[in-house]
């Protein structure tokens, strides 16, 4: 499989999980796709939990936040096996129990525009920014091969509390078809997220409540 094909596959997985994490509480969704004749479903249970069924095996993903850490746990309910990713918010590092490696999230580059400057979209009230994560960082976290659940788990570790506009999960079947293929050990290629930071206004008990959210509006490769 060519590096370009694998990049498309990984991008599809990211798009899919961001769709699920964008759905507000009370409106959680379940998506089922067929990959090589195998049915795979992903369901968001709550703000902090997901369920993934692959080859009739259920995996549960839970997210726990403290002042200093964000812990994402992936549990195979059939075997009881647990894998976890622990993000140190102060050190900006991610520990993976799968590989035993600690990854610096400073490798995930952030810029406000292509040339590094900041700008505001002409037809939007939100600020546009970009985030980049290399395939090497993904491979350091989940190893060469992956399951749907571990891919989703590490993505939620890399990009917490991310929302996305529109339905961009069309390529999820691609990653489901290639979970046992090798993830490139490339630090100069990876995923690029276009994000818009905006301030939302809600009315609660007759009073306005403001919430700042970071919404992913596009996912490409670089």
Q: What is the pLDDT of residues 38-84, one digit of tens each?
A: 566 777 777 788 888 877 889 998 989 889 999 999 999 999 999 99
Q: Model's pTM, two decimal places?
A: 0.66
Q: Where are the beta strands (DSSP E) in 47-81?
A: 49-54, 57-65, 69-76
The tens digit of pLDDT for each residue in 115-152 reads: 333 322 333 356 887 877 777 888 888 887 667 778 77
3-state secondary structure of 170: coil
Q: Where are the domains of the chain?
A: 3-221
3-state secondary structure of 194: strand
CB atoms within 10 A of CB 134: 20
Residue from 166, 183, 180, 172 nearest 34 by CA: 172
Angle value at C-alpha 150, between 60 and 155, nearest 5 degrees: 105
d(CA 7, CA 131): 16
CB atoms within 10 A of CB 106: 10
3-state secondary structure of 106: helix
Report how far Cα 62 is from the mean position of its chain's Cα atoms: 13
Q: Are 45 and 15 in contact (CB under 8 A)?
A: no
């Amino acid at each position: 499989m060519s590096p370009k094909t694998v990049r498309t596959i990984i991008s599809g997985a990211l798009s899919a999980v961001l769709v699920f994490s964008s759905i507000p509480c009370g409106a959680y969704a379940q998506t089922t796709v067929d990959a090589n004749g195998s049915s795979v479903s992903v369901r968001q249970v709550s703000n902090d939990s997901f369920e993934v069924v692959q080859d009739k095996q259920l995996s549960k993903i839970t997210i726990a936040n403290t002042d200093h850490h964000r812990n994402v746990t992936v549990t195979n309910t059939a075997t009881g096996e647990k894998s976890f990713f622990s993000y140190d918010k102060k050190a900006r590092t991610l520990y993976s129990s799968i590989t035993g490696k600690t990854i610096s999230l400073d490798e995930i580059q952030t810029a406000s525009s292509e040339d590094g400057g900041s700008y505001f979209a002409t037809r939007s009230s939100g600020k546009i920014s970009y985030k980049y994560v290399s395939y090497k960082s993904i491979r350091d976290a989940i190893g060469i091969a992956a399951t749907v659940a571990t891919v989703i788990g590490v993505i939620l570790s890399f990009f917490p509390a991310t929302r996305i506009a529109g339905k961009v999960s069309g390529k999820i079947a691609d990653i489901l078809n290639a979970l046992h293929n090798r993830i490139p050990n490339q630090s100069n290629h990876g995923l690029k997220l276009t994000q818009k930071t905006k301030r939302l206004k809600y009315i609660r008990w007759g009073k306005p409540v403001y919430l700042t959210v970071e919404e992913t509006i596009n996912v490409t490769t670089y």
